[in-house]
């Protein structure tokens, strides 16, 4: 898939590869090729250093963006997957289990949980495009309990448009399931480390990022509502999604500035979908560093600090006239 604003880049890339084919060993075309390569580099820089918030949302949703499975395979070894909520079923929109970080990342055993958007059409449909049902959030709640029971850090990878909005999700208590996860993370006496690797859609994302550390990839987003829905509700026009995305301050950089997240993780030029390994390495570096840093922390102190962090969040969003 080629995003609209990526078109000039893709056109240059096609011309370059066309010339490569023509050129063979001919030196005459080399000058032209290197001129185009410079232009390509400049175009990438121009486009990607000036992405609007809504363009970033589109990058965050890109189907080729590295997903849960890619991170799991690259950053951990011996992923021991667990399934089911013990009440209703197994929701493929979220996955998790025990995992060991790669030796170069510290080798810590952790409980790894993430939204799974799937890498191909079949997996995407099976995982409901990363939109979990209540059984998914209850499965996640089980993983939180296991982590606490065995004193393992919880590592979360967030990538969801939101918790699923549907009849069955309501019948099985979507709100109740999310609320229970928030309560569980609020008091889990183990390190909780979360990365927003793509979409961070509202409550369905927060159920997996109430954490001691939240890192966001540069082109990921975290928002209380999808920009399209916000535009239809506030501006009564879904076509004004770009404006809504702007107004919601949902980009990684905005959220860092507002003190909501800890770190913006730079993506390779052209976005994570162009150089997946680079993006995964960046997340891996932060993951290893943060888990190692928190692994010796006193469990009670962790809970207290997490409490204070969220208790104080958004103090500046109010005028406190209570004295």
Partner 1 sequence: MDAVFTKCERCGQPIYEKDLGARFNVCPHCEFHYPLSAPARIRLLLDRGSFEERDVGLLAGDPLGFEGYEERLAKARRRTGLDDAVVSGVGSLGGRRVALAVMDFRFIGGSMGSVVGEKVARTVEHAYAEELPLVIVSASGGARMFEGVYSLMQLAKTSVALSRYVEGSWPYVSVLTDPTFGGVTASFATAADVVIAEPGARIGFAGARVIEQTTRERLPEGFQTAEFQRDHGMVDRIVHRLALRGDIERLLGFVA
Question: Footprint of partner 1 on this chain (CB under 8 A)?
Answer: 163, 165-167, 169-176, 178-180, 182-183, 185-187, 202-203, 206, 210, 222-225, 229-230, 233-234, 247-250, 255, 258, 260, 306-307, 310-311, 313-314, 316-323
Closer residue to partner 1 (CB): 203 or 276: 203
| Shortest Å, Cβ 36 to partner 1 | 41
How is residue 240 written in tokens? 């004004």
Please state, in angstroms and rounded to a whole number, the distance separating the CA atoms of residues 106 and 12.
Answer: 41
C-alpha dist (Å) from residue 151 to 188, 194, 216, 258, 318: 9, 17, 25, 32, 37
E strand or H helix at 53:
helix 53-60
| Shortest Å, Cβ 230 to partner 1 | 5
Rg (CA), the chain: 21
> Which residue, 319, 88, 299, is CA-closest to 191?
299
Closer residue to partner 1 (CB): 8 or 173: 173
Taking each helix axis as running N to C, give the angle between helix 30-48 and helix 7-23, from 0 to 180 degrees, rounded to the nearest 10.
Answer: 160
Closer residue to partner 1 (CB): 101 or 169: 169
Closer residue to partner 1 (CB): 29 or 225: 225
Closer residue to partner 1 (CB): 112 or 192: 192
| Shortest Å, Cβ 54 to partner 1 | 14
| Shortest Å, Cβ 312 to partner 1 | 8
DSSP letter for 313, please: T
Residue 251 — φ and ψ, nearest 5°?
Answer: -80, 160
| Shortest Å, Cβ 168 to partner 1 | 9
| Shortest Å, Cβ 146 to partner 1 | 19
Closer residue to partner 1 (CB): 36 or 94: 94
Please state, in angstroms and rounded to a whole number, the distance separating the CA atoms of residues 36 and 107.
Answer: 44
Please state, in angstroms and rounded to a whole number, the distance separating the CA atoms of residues 174 and 186.
Answer: 19
Q: Which residue has the tokens 């008091």?
A: 187
Asked if 110 and 77 count as a contact pair (C-beta separation under 8 A), the reply is: no
Closer residue to partner 1 (CB): 72 or 172: 172
| Shortest Å, Cβ 170 to partner 1 | 5
Residue 68 — φ and ψ, nearest 5°?
Answer: -45, -45
Closer residue to partner 1 (CB): 27 or 320: 320
Asked if 283 and 75 count as a contact pair (C-beta separation under 8 A), the reply is: yes
| Shortest Å, Cβ 237 to partner 1 | 13
């Amino acid at each position: 898939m080629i995003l609209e604003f990526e078109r000039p880049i893709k056109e240059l890339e096609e011309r370059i590869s066309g010339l490569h084919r023509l050129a063979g060993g001919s030196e005459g075309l080399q000058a032209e090729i290197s001129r185009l390569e410079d232009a390509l580099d400049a175009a990438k820089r121009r486009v990607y250093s000036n992405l609007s918030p809504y363009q970033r949302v589109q990058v965050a949703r890109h189907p080729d963006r590295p997903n849960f499975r890619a991170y799991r395979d690259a950053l951990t070894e011996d992923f021991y997957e667990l399934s089911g909520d013990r009440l209703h079923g197994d929701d493929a929109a979220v996955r998790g289990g025990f995992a060991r970080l790669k030796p170069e990342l510290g080798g810590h055993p952790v409980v790894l949980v993430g939204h799974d958007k799937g890498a191909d059409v079949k997996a995407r449909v099976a995982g409901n495009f990363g939109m979990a049902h209540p059984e998914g959030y209850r499965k996640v709640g089980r993983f939180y309990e296991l982590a606490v029971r065995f004193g393992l850090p919880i590592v979360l990878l967030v990538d969801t448009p939101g918790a699923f909005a549907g009849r069955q999700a309501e019948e099985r208590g979507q709100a109740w399931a999310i609320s229970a996860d928030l309560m569980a993370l609020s008091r889990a006496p183990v390190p909780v480390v979360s990365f927003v690797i793509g979409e961070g859609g509202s409550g369905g994302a927060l159920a997996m990022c109430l954490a001691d550390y939240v890192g966001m990839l540069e082109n990921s987003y975290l928002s209380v509502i999808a920009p399209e829905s916000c535009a239809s509700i506030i501006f009564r026009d879904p076509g004004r999604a770009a404006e809504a995305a702007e107004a919601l301050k949902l980009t990684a950089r905005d959220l860092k500035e507002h003190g909501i997240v800890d770190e913006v993780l730079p993506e390779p030029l052209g976005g994570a979908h162009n150089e997946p390994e680079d993006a995964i390495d960046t997340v891996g570096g932060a993951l290893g560093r943060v888990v190692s840093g928190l692994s010796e922390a006193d469990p009670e102190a962790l809970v207290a600090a997490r409490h204070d962090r969220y208790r104080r969040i958004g103090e500046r969003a109010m005028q406190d006239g209570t004295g």
